[in-house]
Amino acid sequence: MSHTGTAVSVVAGTCMEADAWATALSVLGLERGFALAQRDDVAALFVWQTEEGFTSQATDAFSRIVEVVPDGTTN
């Protein structure tokens, strides 16, 4: 697999803020983007593809407002 692009969803006070954060975090990539989101307490969910399928990782801020279940879906 040559591409493991990361999708980022962000929950914020306004659509503009969520879009700006999601774009910035996507550009930074999984490791750097996740670290920044954690540091700045951004509610973000990162989803990426591995050879086994899709996986996800939520920031602490995201987990406080959305329940993420073990299969990667949200409730």
List pLDDT tens digits, range 51-60: 888 889 999 9
Domain assignment present for 61: yes
- Say how far apart CA 52 and CA 54 lie, in whole Å: 7
Residue 71 is assigned to a structural domain of this protein: no
Residue 21 has pLDDT above 90, yes or no: yes
User: 63-68, long-range: CB within 8 Å, 24+ apart, which pairs?
Assistant: 65/11, 66/11
Residue 75 lies in a domain: no
Where in the sequence is the domain holding 20, given as residue range(s)? 6-65
Confidence at 75, pLDDT banded by 50, 70, 90: low
Helix (H, G, I), strand (E, B) or coil at 75: coil
Split into its structural domains, the chain has a count of 1
Is 44 domain-assigned?
yes
Q: Is 11 within a domain?
A: yes
Burial bucket for residue 30 (CB in 10 Å: 0-12, 13-18, 19+): middle
- Give the global pTM: 0.82
